[in-house]
Amino acid sequence: MDSEGSCFEEHEYLEHLEKTEFDRSEAIGYKFEGKDYMVGALARMNLNKNALNKKTRKDLKKYLKVFPSKNIFHNNLAQAIEILHCIDDSIEILENNKFKKEHLAEVKVKAATGIGVIEAPRGTLYYRLNIQKDGKIKDGNIIVPTSQNQVNINDDIKKLVEDNINKPKKEIAYEIEKLIRAYDPCLSCAAHFIKLKFE
């Protein structure tokens, strides 16, 4: 579900997500029904803070007042809250349940297409896999959270540069790096990657 209340089935994801390419970049982004959007801890906290573990809600009541927020720098706070929620939830599950050994079900391989959606730490991940009758993957489509946030990242960088254009270039580069890291992109070069060329 999104902030406007719309919801769709897993198999419909490609009907709503629109692939976007960027000039002078290998990055791929996505729009949701023509609009930029964001996935990840900040988005989840904006939509679901009341679904957090009750102990987490009690202990972090002061910090939860920040949400809903459109400030990307609150993403780090949202991630920290989610970590505590996972710890509190895990303790509650372990203390209140009895576990028994389960046997793995027999897997019968057949040709099929599988579609799934999972909420990963960095945000929603969509995937579709076409499996051949021998169990090998014929082809697939995986849309990772960073790709979904890419349009937002680009728009935020543009606004940041416009708002700070009179500052020293080194300072602008530093602010851009902070902004990108706040999104927690899954880029191997997330720590050192900016090469600014002012025209």
Q: pLDDT tier at 198 (50, 70, 90 boundaries)?
A: low
pTM for this prediction: 0.84
- List, for residues 136-193, the tens digit of each pLDDT value: 999 999 999 999 999 999 999 999 999 999 999 999 999 999 999 999 988 654 444 5
Amino acid symbol at 57: R
Query: Does residue 84 lie in a domain region?
Result: no
Number of domains within the chain? 1
Query: Does residue 7 lie in a domain region?
Result: no
Q: Rounded mean pLDDT of 61-85?
A: 97
Query: Does residue 119 lie in a domain region?
Result: yes
Query: Does residue 46 lie in a domain region?
Result: no
pLDDT at site 115? 94
- Residue 126 burial (10 A CB sphere; 0-12, 13-18, 19+): buried
Contact 161, 120 (CB under 8 A): no
pLDDT at site 30? 93
Most confident of 6-10, 13-17, 162-166: 162-166
CA distance 76 to 133: 44
Query: Does residue 123 lie in a domain region?
Result: yes
Q: Rounded mean pLDDT of 123-127?
A: 94
Query: Does residue 130 lie in a domain region?
Result: yes
Q: What is the mean pLDDT of the chain?
A: 90
Query: Does residue 135 lie in a domain region?
Result: yes
Query: Does residue 133 lie in a domain region?
Result: yes
Better-scored residue on pLDDT, 194 or 99: 99
Domain that holds residue 117: 112-142
